Amino acid sequence: MTILEQEENIRQDQEDSAQEAMEQETATHGRPAPAPTAGNQTLVGIDLGTCRTVVIGADGQELEIRSVVGYPKDIISRQAVGDGPLFGHEALEKRNFLELCYPLAEGVIRDASERDYQAARELIHHVVAGIKENSGGGPVSGIIGVPARASLMNKEVLLQVAREVMDTTLVVSEPFMVAYALGKLNRCIIVDIGAGTVDVCCMKGSVPAPEDQVTTFKGGDYLDERLEAAILRRHPGVQITRSLACRIKEEHAFVGEPERPVEVTLRVDGKPVRFDVTEELRTVCESMVPNIVEQVETLIASFDPEDQEETLKNIYLAGCGSRIRGLDRMLTNALQDYGDVRITCVDDPERIGAKGALKLALEVPPGHWPEIGLMFG
């Protein structure tokens, strides 16, 4: 199906299912009888992502929301959508009325503008309020994942915001949460390919130290930017946006030999035209491979030589960028000089980070949280 056909279908589907989607996204999929843990606390794991934020509660609640906040543009917009702000799917759905703000850049709160800071604050308040509401209004504590090498300042800004709505919060690195969810705490490497960052982290039997982790900023957003530019360069005059480029990527992303040509319909001067974007998509997706290989190679060499053989069989790809077709195979080939290399894409890349954070919150008593990361409470 073409992008434009999809867009039409999506628009129709959206009308039918907007209500349902909003309910699913914002009202939390709460199980009927909340069972707070740790006294009257509800423990949660939060994956605060550039693209999506996922919260999973010990009482079975789950909430997944696009990390976007929308503010009405003017008095007319206000009449249509109220004073706002609107969040996630609802904000995207009503985007013509809104100024959209994506408050997380490269996986951390943008602190460049007051608006971004406020939007991040409102987003965190919104998701925690959703959890609280469904668990009888009691206190919420938990663990939040941030990019492996988020700066101290980023973490402190996040804690400052979380403190307003949560009782105890611990900030840990995202790939560590993935490793914890997989139960792979030793001789293992996690590559988390998100929207803002690619985080690579090695597990050596304890909480990863800063030198065990690398964050680079060539994640999915970077691919969207490059794909938009590549299509425009090859087909001047085509009406391509970052959002359309992202949709082409999410539907067709691949590396290596294409299974079939990637043909999409885009508009030129308002008219639909078919374009073959196979080469552009391939080149852009493959551009992330050398970077990941380099990070993995650096981290492999940091393991005890006796552990390297097993580590090479325990490399996991997480984050939704791990859905790029053929990426596991191409990375395996690029590492063939190392012998037997096994790279596995995790199941459920959307939720695995939040699941790991919750598992950690449930299994490690809060008294030991300061040994794992930065916290308050």
Point out which residues bind Mg ion (CB under 5 A). 49, 194
Binding-site size, ligand ATP (CB under 6 A): 24
Residue 52 interacting with ligand ATP (CB under 6 A): yes
CA distances from 37 to 47, 58, 302, 362, 363 (A): 20, 7, 39, 8, 12
d(CA 104, CA 175): 18
Candidates 45, 49, 356, 373: give the one binding ligand ATP (CB under 6 A): 49
Candidates 70, 84, 88, 219: give the one binding ligand ATP (CB under 6 A): 219
Which 70-109 residues touch ligand ATP, going by CB under 6 A?
A: 107
Contact in structure between 171 and 180 (CB atoms under 8 Å) = no
d(CA 254, CA 259): 9
Strand partners, 345: 317
Q: Of 97 and 102, which CB lies nearer to ligand ATP in the complex structure?
A: 102
Q: Which residue is nearest to ligand ATP (CB)?
A: 220
Q: Of 29 and 78, which CB lies nearer to ligand ATP in the complex structure?
A: 29
Residue 51 interacting with ligand ATP (CB under 6 A): yes
Q: In which residue are the tokens 């996991």 written? A: 316
Residue 320 interacting with ligand ATP (CB under 6 A): yes
Q: Of 38 and 92, which CB lies nearer to ligand ATP in the complex structure?
A: 92
Residue 194 interacting with ligand ATP (CB under 6 A): yes
Q: Which does 246 bind (CB under 5 to 8 A by kind): Mg ion, ligand ATP, none?
A: ligand ATP
Nearest to 105 by CA among 28, 194, 37, 29: 194
d(CA 174, CA 351): 12
Candidates 253, 281, 357, 360: give the one binding ligand ATP (CB under 6 A): 253
365 prior amide bond cis, ω within 30: no
Q: Of 85 and 220, which CB lies nearer to ligand ATP in the complex structure?
A: 220
What is the dihedral angle through the alpha carbons of 241, 244, 246, 251, rounded to the nearest 10 degrees? -160
